[in-house]
Structures are given as structure tokens and as C-alpha cells.
Structure 1
Amino acid sequence: MSGPMFGADSATALWDDEPVEGAFTLSDEGVVGRVARPWLFGFAGGAADAPAMLVLAGGGYTQLMVEREGVAVARWLNTLGIHAYVLVHRFPTTDTGPLASRADAIRAMAMIRAVGHGAVGVVGLSSGGHLAACLLAEGAEVARPDVAVIGYAPISTNAAGRTIVADKPPLPPVEKQAMYDLLQPDAQLADAPPPTFIVYAGNDPVVPVANAYRLKDAIVAKGGAPDLHIFADAPHGFALDTPDLPVSLWPLLCAAWLRQTGFAPDS
């Protein structure tokens, strides 16, 4: 291999010294499938001590939309003067157990902080948003981000007893359902949550908008002041490339918010 995958500036294994070859499968569409060994891909966005964000793509904890919800987000953050690190994490399976994804995210945050960035945040979309919210919960304080951006994430409506869809069956594989039962960020939020930007579609057919309100209410109850944006009509997985709809403006709103919080450099 002539250089890091995805056009990244750096590539680092999370838990071993093995090469990236064979660590995970990648389709021509930029979707990661099976993950045997997690990796972190860095995209430089400014001075060495500029702020950085961990980027967590979605994919329902069975795959990762790493190009569309990972690399594209990293490149956007770079335009704001922010370093970005895209995580290819393991999934909850029989081999890994229900908490492997969270363990990988916590490890990645520690590795990013060790680089020496001025501040470190997290951005997650869809299942990546659930994983990002898990870093705001009790038990993950060591990985607490300075800011969080969470989009269309299943915060807790996949957990047993908390579903919105009546009689919703358990999600396969069993380890994935166990993870959602164990990790309910809104019910487990740690005190004094960091500034959080939340963006959802009101008519999302995949992730009920109730997740947005659950997370917002939990943050407020713990003393935070979330920036909540609900777009009435948008598809699930709107990411950064949903043109001709109002939701396509959310990155502009988020960029202004990141500057307002003092996280992103002034343009």
C-alpha cells in the first residue's frame, strides 16, 4: 500500500501493531463490512495544536458508511480548521461482545488527546451518533469530549421497554440488541454535559425523532444547553449531501455553532 486509505494523512491501529491489510472489508461504495481490527484515520485540518474531532459514521452497527458519513465529514471539518479522525470500529457480534464499539471509541479518544490538540470533540451520525452520545454517559468520563455533534441517532428507542414502535422485535444479532439495552445515553448521561449540537428529521422513518427530544431533555436535566435542530422533512441519513432541501443547511448552522462555542477557529 502506497499510503493511508481514504486519502488520510495518518492511519493507526487501535489495539495492535498489525498492518491494515485484512483489518476490515471495504466495498467500492466506501462501505466497511466485517471489522476484525479497528483503525483510526487522521485528516489534518490546521496547525498541530488546532482542535480535533473524532468522526463516527453510521451503518446500524453492522457496517460503516465510512466514505459518506466519515471521510466526507472529516473533509468538511478540515475546511473549518479542525483536525478529524475517522474511526473504523468493531461491531457487536458473538466474537466481540456487546461493548466493543464503545471500547474502540474510548480508545480512539485517548489516542487523539495524546496527539496534543487544543480540544477534542466528537461528531456521530446515525448509529455513530448513538456511539458519540455514549461518550457523554457515565462510565465513559475518560473519553468525555469538549463538544459533541449528534445527528439522526437511535439514542434509546431500540432499548427493550423504551421503543416507540409497538411490539418492535429485538434487533439481530443478539449482541447488538444487548448493546442497545446496556447503553442508553439519555438515561445514563454524566453530569455537566459538554456543548452539544443535535440535528434530526422530524419525519425520519428509521430513527424516531423522539430520540432527539430524549437526548435534549437529558442534557438540560444535567445542566447543559443543547442546540437542537429538527427539520420537518428530510430522509434518514441526510449526511452532507442532501441537496435542494432545507436540511442541507445544517452544516452551516453547525459551523456557526462550533465557532460560537469557541471550539472552531474564527474564519
Structure 2
Amino acid sequence: MKLPLLIFSLLTGAMSAQDLPVLKSARVTLDLWPEGKMPGRATQEAQALHSPERMDAVRVTNVSRPTLSFYPAEGKDAPAMIVCPGGGYTWLTMDKEGTEIATWLNKHGISAFILKYRAPGNRDGALQDLQRALSLVRSRGAEWSVDPQCLGVIGFSAGGHLSARASNRFGQRAYAAVDDIDKQACRPDFAILVYPAYLDDGKGGLSPSLDVQADVPPTLIVHSEDDPGFVRGSKIYDAALTAAKRPHKFLLYPTGGHGYGLRSDRDAKAWPDAALTWLRSL
């Protein structure tokens, strides 16, 4: 158990011991890019924990060396998902929206790859990192017993926006190919967006970072009415996907708020089971 989460639990009683998942360790963590070939920019600050006074999760910032951590499920040719933690493109919530999600996916036969993408303030770099991660997993699918034709993305908050971008903006890679890995497709086969942020333009329209005229893969959107900062964007994206006749489903719960991961005690606590049912329907 991560120490900040343990301290938070002891001080507040917010989570009982039986509620905490037994987190797995990654089989391997890889650098996404060959030395000296990462496109775009990166912060020069040393990686650090962000907002240590908040004890409910482990958050990292100043990510200049993006990585991919592999959490394998049992079995051969397993479906897989790349997990994109949230944090407003300022930090990444690495346990609540990372390792806990990977452990949950593994429990249900899905291999997971946690993406630590560039931050802060680097949306273009984050998209490059996710596109590279999709191609990297496909290039090593046989080695990792992952089905390269059943590779999805799941993202939370800003990670949900990043996952939506990857499922819209795959037609033209966001960087020039650096090696043979980039010959592999960077389009996810499906996407789950959990309380995604930044899907609207702030004026009642769809964010210009998205393009529903693309061949958007099957998408599940999860949100709740009591997330006033971001639920409007999910409603607009749902309407845009409907108008474009793209396959998707929108789970809108009365309560849940924002940033709960698997820990909600309100209506949105139903989303993990609903998401599994949706995945099986594919």
C-alpha cells in the first residue's frame, strides 16, 4: 500500500482495509522512446510528488521521461487496455487512477499498461506518448501474450480527454515516425472515458481537439450529473457521436462527483460492473 494512502485511511477512516485493493506490481516498466528520439518537449524540472498535503492518492508531476508499465492478466492473447491517469495535465494520479485500475482489469482477464505521460502542461506530448504506447504494445503483442487487435484505452478526467483524442486523432500521427514500432497502428480498438474533462469548447460546442468524423472506435462515456465542471462536455460528446452515428454508450449517474476511480460510494459506484458488461458486448 502506498504510504500517503495508508496515512489518509488511518487519519480519516475514509476507507476500510477490506475496501483497499491488493495492488499488483508491474512485470516490467519501459521507456516509451529511444534515447534522444522523443519528439516534442519535456519539462526540465525533476519528477516529484504533487500536492503532498492531499493524502487520498499518490500524484506525480514533472514527468519528462514517459514510461509504460505492464500488468499482465493470466492466459494467452488477452485483451488489453492502456490506462491513462488524470490530473488536469498537471499531475498524474498513479494509484487511484492507475495501479488500482490495472489490478481491477487483471482480475477480469484484461492485461493493463499504465501510461505515465508527460506533464505538466503538455497535451501534445501526452498524445504523442499515448500514440506511441498503442504502437509499442502492438509491436510486442506476441511476446506479452496480448491480442494486438483487442487493445483499448481507459482514461480518467484529463486522461479521459487524452483517450478521446487518441480515439479521434489516429489518422495522422502526432509525430514523425522514429523507428519500426511506429509502423504499427495507433488507433485504439475501443475506449472508456471516466468523468472525462475538456471535451467541450466552453461555448456549448465540441472541443476542436476532437473529430467525430473519424472512424471513432466503440466508446463508453461515464459521468455523473454532480460534476458541474465537466459533465457538459460528456453530454456534448455523446450528442456529437450520436449525430455522427459512431458506436458508443453514455452512462450518466445522478451522483458521483469527480475523481473517484473505483472508490465511489454514490450512484457512480455502479460504473465498473457496467463497463465490464459493455466490454463483453463488444
User: Which range, TM-score by smaller chain?
Assistant: 0.7 to 0.9
| Partners of 1:58 and 1:65 within 8 A in 2 | yes
In 1, the alpha carbon distance for the partners of 2:171 and 2:102 equals 23
Q: CA deviation at 1:17?
A: 5.2
Q: Which amino acid aligns with 1:143?
A: C
Secondary structure (helix, strand or coil) at the match of 1:129 reads helix
Deviation at 1:206?
Answer: 2.9
Equivalent in the alignment of 2:19? none
Separation in 1 of the partners of 2:252 and 2:223? 5
Contact 2:118–2:129, Cα closer than 8 Å, also in 1: yes
**Aligned position for 1:16:** 34
Contact 1:106 1:140 in 2 (8 A): no
Give 1:189 deviation, angstroms: 2.4
The answer to whether 1:192 aligns with 2:220 is: no
Instruction: Choose the corresponding residue for 1:201, options 200, 204, 224.
Output: 224
Residue 236 (structure 1) aligned with residue 261 (structure 2): no
8 Å contact from structure 2 (residues 63, 118) kept in 1: yes
Match of 1:223 among 245, 252, 255: 245
Aligned equivalent of 2:280: 259
Per the alignment, in what secondary structure is the counterpart of residue 45 of structure 1? coil
Q: Which residue of 2 aligns with 1:81?
A: 109
1:169 maps to none
Q: Could you tell me whether the CA contact under 8 Å between 1:51 and 1:83 is conserved in 2?
A: yes
User: Map of 1:134-153 to 2, 5 A cutoff?
Assistant: 134-140=165-171, 142-153=185-196
**TM-score computed with the length of structure 2 as normaliser:** 0.74
2:197 is aligned, of 146, 154, 171, to: 154
- Whether the 8 Å contact between 1:92 and 1:100 is mirrored in structure 2 is no
Question: How many residues are matched?
Answer: 228
Distance 1:205 1:221 in 2: 24
Partner of residue 106 from structure 1, selected from 112, 118, 131: 131
Question: Is the contact made by 1:193 and 1:223 (CA closer than 8 Å) also made in structure 2?
Answer: no
CA distance in 2, matches of 1:87, 1:140: 21
Q: 1:33-112 alignment to 2 at 5 Å? A: 33-91=61-119, 93=121, 98-112=123-137
Deviations 1:125-166 (A, max 9, x none): 100000000012134564211111001112433x4xx346xx
Provide the residue aligned with 2:20 in structure 1: none
User: Distance in 2 between the 1:80 and 1:6 partners?
Assistant: 14
What secondary structure is seen at the aligned counterpart in 2 of 1:71? helix
Q: Percent identity between the aligned chains?
A: 31
Out of 242, 250, 253, the position equivalent to 2:271 is 250
AA partner of residue 193 (structure 1): V
**Equivalent-residue separation in structure 1 for 2:272 and 2:123 (angstroms):** 32
Partners of 1:105 and 1:241 lie apart in 2 by: 25
Tell me, yes or no, if the aligned pair for 1:126 and 1:237 is still in contact at 8 Å: yes
Determine helix, strand or coil for the equivalent of 2:93: coil
Q: Structure 1 residues 26 and 6, CA, compared in 2 at 3 Å: closer, same or farther? A: farther
* Structure-1-length-normalised TM-score: 0.78
- Residues 144 and 17 of structure 1, relative CA distance in 2, 3 Å threshold: same
Residue 205 of structure 1 contacts residue 236 of structure 1 at CA under 8 Å; is this kept in 2? no
Partner of 1:120: 151
Distance 1:40 1:26 in 2: 18
Contact 1:191 1:222 in 2 (8 A): no
